[in-house]
Amino acid sequence: MKIGLFGINFGPCAAPEALARVARAAEDAGLESLWTGEHVVLPDPQVPPSPAPPDTPMLDPSAALAFAAAHTRSVRLGTGIIILPQRNALELAKELASVDVLSGGRLIVGLGAGYLEPEFRALGANFRERGALTDESIEVLRALWTQERPHFEGRFHRFEGVDAHPRPLQRPHPPIVIGGMSRAAARRAARRGNGWYGFLTSPEQTARSLAWIREAVAAGERPSALGELEISVTPPPIDRDTLKRYEELGVHRIIGTTRARDVDSVLRFVEELAGYVR
């Protein structure tokens, strides 16, 4: 079981000294990966389903991971997740390729369709068609990262006669992990992802999503070239009993999260997570 840490870019870790300190401590403790969250803007005042108060400091994922890369050597760096339909896919492809190069090929690209309508509205993003836009944008990323002469023609994106370098260091590209607990997200992971990420999902909810994934695979929706789907989960709590339950479900990676309000508490949580590394 791989063990990672969620939240390297927000809350107490949003300060540069704290981010660097926690990143180094996690790597020294043997954690496999560090993960960011993302919300470009948050509703003010906070209303459901907004996950955090509007004054929560939250660094941009690409900037935070590039900074973490400069302070570490080997720990993997994941976006958990970037809200893809809120982004220009071509600009994002450049950002993420840059992080992969600067980190020496350590990036994991976590993507999702999003759910917070006020955020979409403020950004002028397409909330109603976010699922279709997410699917197409994933293929845009792949086109820019892998095609010798990138070109694409779809509903939302059309380009040819352009190129973007550097390409990501990882080949054919950094692993793409699809986040989300809906049936649509499970199907998207089966059809387009190298992995699936369930956030704050219990063993029972995880089992439901994995059943949806297996259903899509059995229906022939997964391209054979994608290989096995890697399963990552952030559980609500974490202890050895629940860890064993996730293992029995076939989960490959646990990404722990904490509501710690200061860096020392985050570092204590890193030590706790290190106890599960084996």
- What pLDDT was estimated at residue 247? 96
Whose tokens are 């496999």? That residue is 32
Q: Which of 135, 173, 172 is nearest to 157 (CA)?
A: 135
- What pLDDT was estimated at residue 269? 97
- Let me know: does 270 contact 31? Beta carbons within 8 Å: yes
Q: Which of 95, 97, 113 is nearest to 105 (CA)?
A: 97
For residue range 23-65, list pLDDT tens digits in order.
Answer: 999 999 999 999 999 999 999 999 999 999 999 999 999 999 9
- What pLDDT was estimated at residue 19? 98
- What pLDDT was estimated at residue 208? 98
Cα–Cα distance, 50 to 246 (Å, whole number):
27
Per run of 10 residues, the mean pLDDT along the chain (length 278 residues) is 97 98 98 98 96 97 98 98 98 98 98 98 98 98 98 98 98 98 98 98 97 98 96 94 96 97 97 92
For residue range 97-130, list pLDDT tens digits in order.
Answer: 999 999 999 999 999 999 999 999 999 999 999 9
- What pLDDT was estimated at residue 139? 98
pTM over 0.95: yes
Q: Which of 11, 57, 6 is nearest to 35 (CA)?
A: 6
Domains and CATH numbers, the chain: 8-272 (3.20.20.30)
